[in-house]
Amino acid sequence: MFRSSQSTSQSIAPQLKATARAGSNIAFIKYWGVANPRINLPLNNSISMTLGALHTTTTVEWDAGGRLGADEVTIDGERVEGKKAERVTQHLDLIRHLAGDRRYRARVVSRNNFPMASGIASSASAFAALTVAAVAAIGLALDRTRLSAVARHGSGSASRSIFGGYVEWERGNDDATSVARQLFPAEHWNLRDVVVVVSTAEKAVSSQNGHTLALTSPFNAARIDSLYTALQEVRAAITLRDLNRLGPVIEQDALAMHAVMMTSKPSLLYWQPGTLEVLQAVRRWREQDGLPVYFTIDAGPNVHLICEPAFERELLRRLQTLSGVRSTLTSGPGDGAETVDQHLF
The domain of 228 spans 192-331
Within this chain, do residues 82 and 228 fall inside the same structural domain, yes or no? no
Domain end position, chosen among 171, 186, 201 = 186
Query: Rounded to whole angstroms, how far apart are CA atoms 285 and 293?
Result: 8
φ, ψ for residue 79 (rounded to 5)?
Answer: -70, 130
**The last residue of a domain, from among 186, 219, 244:** 186
Distance, CA of 23 to CA of 204 (rounded, Å): 24
CA 257, CA 299: separation in Å to the nearest integer? Answer: 9
3-state SS, residue 8:
coil
The CATH number linked to 79 is 3.30.230.10
Domain membership of residue 2 (yes or no) is no
pLDDT at 261: 98
Q: Pairing mode, if any, of strands 180-184 and 166-169?
A: antiparallel
Give the span between the Cα atoms of 89 and 315, in whole angstroms: 42
Same-domain status, 162 and 197: no
Q: How many structural domains comprise the chain?
A: 2
Same domain, 253 and 289: yes
Does 204 share its domain with 175? no
Residues 179-206: tens digit of each pLDDT: 999 999 999 999 999 999 999 888 888 8
Q: Measure CA of the first residue to CA of the last residue in the chain; give whole Å.
A: 21
Per-residue pLDDT tens digits for 82-96: 999 999 999 999 999
Q: Are residues 99 and 204 in the same domain?
A: no
Partners of residue 307 on adjacent β-strands = 192, 293
Within a domain: 345: no
The reply to whether 233 and 155 lie within a common domain is no
d(CA 291, CA 311): 8
Report, as an integer, the average pLDDT of 101-124: 85
Best CA proximity match to 26, nearest among 262, 196, 174: 196
Q: Cα dihedral sign for 151, 157, 162, 167?
A: positive
Q: Within this chain, do residues 70 and 106 fall inside the same structural domain, yes or no?
A: yes
**Domain co-membership, 35 together with 165:** yes
Q: Give percent of the chain with pLDDT exceeding 90.
A: 88
| Chosen domain end from 152, 186, 220 | 186
